[in-house]
Amino acid sequence: MLCRRMDKAGMTTGGCGKGKETAVFRIAVLVSGGGTNLQAIIDAIDQGTIKDTEIVLVLSNNEGAFALERARRRGIPAVVVSPKSYAARAAFNEALLDCVREHQPDLVVLAGFLCAIPDEMVEAYRNRIINIHPSLIPSFCGKGYYGLKVHEAALERGVKISGATVHFVDSGTDTGPIIMQKAVAVLPDDTPKTLQLRIMEQAEWKILPRVIDLIAHGKVKVDGRKVTVIGQDEEGGSQKGSQV
Ligand code: GRF
């Protein structure tokens, strides 16, 4: 049984009804590269740390993305929608939205997806698209900050702490409501690559699956730019075992 409720600001977003053991929360994961975050989601589903949730689509703009292989190995529908196949960006945007709609996700997860999300899709899935960014927003984010560039900038600035952020997607770049962040130490000998890996291991692969499980169970409340995780206090501590 599918369950779909949510979507108005100020309402709890996501959620499978309590007591419906057969309810499945449907997620689409959009990727462009290696797919380690996708793998973390797959593993969390397999290990039961994300419950009542199914990946109904993995979509990539890049046919060479290893993430597609990870999906296929697990028997998840893996689809390529590439801007190269369309004469105009508008046609690509339409195909992207059509493909996502066809699979009827409750939540769209951007896990290293390097294409801008068209406004029509942001509107159609308001507070139902999340993104993982490898820094503590609002540092080192926005246009041009992707991949190793984020970590290069953090090291160049000399910060002692970086981390990762999961946020809802709005029409800006990395500007949507922040759901969860996790800090990671920057070490004196770090290179962009060592910092990238530590942030993935200690933050990204933990908070992204955690947020998906919380949304799937109706525990994330959005009110304008403020997001509350039900059961978590203001300092991010856990009252009911919902800590990362
Ligand atoms: C991650 O660092 C993520 O935060 C960023 O893109 C990278 C994707 O890595 N948005 P992967 O494809 O999940 O390995």
Instruction: Sketch the domain layout of the chain as residue ranges.
Output: 12-229
Residue in 166, 167, 198, 173 with CA at minimum distance from that of residue 185? 198
pLDDT recorded at residue 232: 74
Smallest CA separation from ligand 1 atom 3, residue = 112
Please determine, for residue 14, whether its predicted confidence score (pLDDT) is greater than 80: no
Q: How far is the CA of 1 from the centre of ligand 1 (A)?
A: 31
Atom number of ligand 1 nearest to Cα 67: 12
Please determine, for residue 2, whether its predicted confidence score (pLDDT) is greater than 60: no
Name residues contacting ligand 1 (CB within 6 A): 31, 33-37, 67, 111-112, 132-134, 200, 204
Q: How many CB atoms lie within 10 A of CB 183?
A: 14
DSSP per position, the chain: -B-----STTSEE--PPTT-TT-BEEEEEEESS--HHHHHHHHHHHHTSS-SEEEEEEEES-TT-HHHHHHHHTT--EEE--GGG-SSHHHHHHHHHHHHHHT--SEEEESS--SPPPHHHHHHTTT-EEEEESS-TTSS-STT--THHHHHHHHHHT-SEEEEEEEE--SSSS-SPEEEEEEEEPPTT--HHHHHHHHIIIIIHHHHHHHHHHHHTT-EEEETTEEEETTB-TTS-BSSS---
pLDDT digit string, tens, across residues 213-236 = 999 999 999 999 999 999 875 554
pLDDT digit string, tens, across residues 185-206 = 999 999 999 999 999 999 999 9
pLDDT recorded at residue 233: 57
Please determine, for residue 68, whether its predicted confidence score (pLDDT) is greater than 70: yes
The CATH number given to 12-229 is 3.40.50.170
pLDDT recorded at residue 143: 95
Please determine, for residue 244, whether its predicted confidence score (pLDDT) is greater than 60: no
Buried b (16+ CB within 10 A) or exposed e, 95-104: ebbebbeebe
Smallest CA separation from ligand 1 atom 6, residue = 112
Smallest CA separation from ligand 1 atom 2, residue = 134
Q: How far is the CA of 20 from the centre of ligand 1 (A)?
A: 33
Confidence of residue 242 (pLDDT cuts 50, 70, 90): very low
Q: In whole angstroms, what is the distance from residue 97 CA to residue 36 CA? A: 24
Confidence of residue 58 (pLDDT cuts 50, 70, 90): very high
Q: Which residues are catalytic?
A: 133
Is the link from the previous residue into 138 a cis peptide, with omega within 30 of 0? yes
88: which 2 tokens?
Answer: 């105009």
Q: How far is the CA of 232 from the centre of ligand 1 (A)?
A: 26
Q: How far is the CA of 98 from the centre of ligand 1 (A)?
A: 24
Atom number of ligand 1 nearest to Cα 132: 4
